Structure 1
């Protein structure tokens, strides 16, 4: 079936649906293969596929990589479909040294860790925020001083600043009850993980508009934000969900250690394992969701 182009602003579908989002094609592949009764739609060049996953009415689409794409396309989905909940499934870089490649994380909240003030150097090695910047209170990494973002919402229309965007408590509680998902640990013969992946629900995640592969910044990110994982989209999706009053949750599996591994970045080797592991846990969530 060819995707249907529609006039700007028109509703594509009136069925209440869960929006299931991934950033790029490998993350969505397993889910599209499981979709029952698929129908495709297109708006602003973005392809949306409706159908049912685990018996639940859904709309699947790619956010695109990075914060602006994720913001723009999540809002587009909310404008064109009757979205009741948002679920993200994809890969991420591991930040918490207790976690390993292949593990699946479901953070309780997400922040935009690269929303920063770039401060001037006022003495050798000392970077100071201007006196009128009063919200750069988190520890800095050199000239980078993290800040909360400005946001409005349907429930709170006055402009305010917010760092953490919380996952929906009811969705998080269902995720805590997930058991016995068979998480893959081998990409190919001879390319297996050293340990069986685990599911970790809770803690923090952070997102920003940069691919991170730096050991020192990884360590700073863990110390400062107590983050389990980092990626390039989820906190942006969380901000859109917050602004619109739509519950959201994100499942992210570690494809690499964001610069913390002993050798070169692991993403090229374990990306598909991580993408499938995240999708498997997300499908278990949909099966349990009422």
Structure 2
């Protein structure tokens, strides 16, 4: 292959970059969910839906709560979320990125069904898996550092951003403050569902929290110890698998971002087995309801 590549004409190797083809010229808000149960309510509420196919993925344009949107699935976890976020930015005229979905609760003051709209998101598993010494201590290589306490062998590190001069690093990616204000207005007076279609009900009426911190990683967390670690190290209210990846891509592209996450489970904090399978649809519906109210608040 090396010789075949060397034989290519220089003009072939120096092709100019081409702008991605827009699938739709209308300025839109991208509304994303990780997997099908999370976007069923939103897709079903679209007016004048039109499907656009790209690399096997479906992007659905239409109107939602008075806004021109494109609704899409990101796929589950960080790489899928980053890839599809950049894809929608390349092929649509996107004015803002909105994520709607479920998550695991960390803050003990929160309950299943609650919706959290965090003001910042971090990636907890951009990390070093450290070597264990003979006395049972985990140590990173001497030339590496972490700003956080380790969780066993795991030392979380800041994300390296090549877009920043000299390879800048950061942990937190911020929610757009104007979008956060709109979310706060939308939350006023909105009543969330406490029972699902099968009449499985929550003991308390779900609440909405605007602000606080969320953390994301490519791991489904159902572990009480790590849940406590996330609370201690980052003051996290919520754990998920996509939001921080979308927030990073949004920052690099200078596009406003916000994520709405409803708790389907307590990430290992409950005495019962994980509740996600029971309350996933209820939680997804509550997140979608706040997203629709939020869209109606935008200019």
TM over 0.5: same fold?
yes
Match of 1:177? Answer: 185
Aligned residues: 281
Q: Per the alignment, in what secondary structure is the counterpart of residue 37 of structure 2?
A: helix
Q: Which one of 45, 48, 71 corresponds to residue 56 of structure 2?
A: 45
Q: TM-score, normalised on structure 2?
A: 0.91
Q: Which one of 227, 239, 250 corresponds to residue 248 of structure 2?
A: 239
Q: 4+ residue stretches of structure 1 with deviation over 4 A? A: none
Q: How far apart, in 2, do the equivalents of 1:42 and 1:189 lie?
A: 34
Q: How far apart, in 1, do the equivalents of 2:268 and 2:286 lie?
A: 21
Match of 2:291? Answer: 282
Are 2:153 and 1:147 equivalent residues in the alignment? no
Cα RMSD of the aligned pairs, angstroms, is 1.5
After superposition, the C-alpha distances for 1:135-186 in whole angstroms (9 at most, x for unaligned) are x120110110000111144xx4552111100000111111122212221111
Q: How far apart, in 2, do the equivalents of 1:168 and 1:174 lie?
A: 10
The CA deviation at 1:37 is 1.0
Q: Per the alignment, in what secondary structure is the counterpart of residue 219 of structure 1?
A: helix
Match of 2:121? Answer: 110
After superposition, the C-alpha distances for 1:223-262 in whole angstroms (9 at most, x for unaligned) are 1111000111000000100110000000000000011111
Q: How far apart, in 2, do the equivalents of 1:27 and 1:180 lie?
A: 23
Q: How far apart, in 2, do the equivalents of 1:19 and 1:70 lie?
A: 13
Q: How far apart, in 2, do the equivalents of 1:249 and 1:19 lie?
A: 11
Q: TM-score, normalised on structure 1?
A: 0.94
Q: Which one of 241, 246, 254 corresponds to residue 263 of structure 2?
A: 254
Structure 2 unaligned blocks of 5 or more: 1-18
Q: How far apart, in 2, do the equivalents of 1:42 and 1:123 lie?
A: 55
Match of 1:197? Answer: 206
Structure 1 unaligned blocks of 5 or more: 1-7
Match of 2:15? Answer: none
Q: Larger C-alpha radius of gyration, 1 or 2?
A: 2
Are 2:173 and 1:137 equivalent residues in the alignment? no
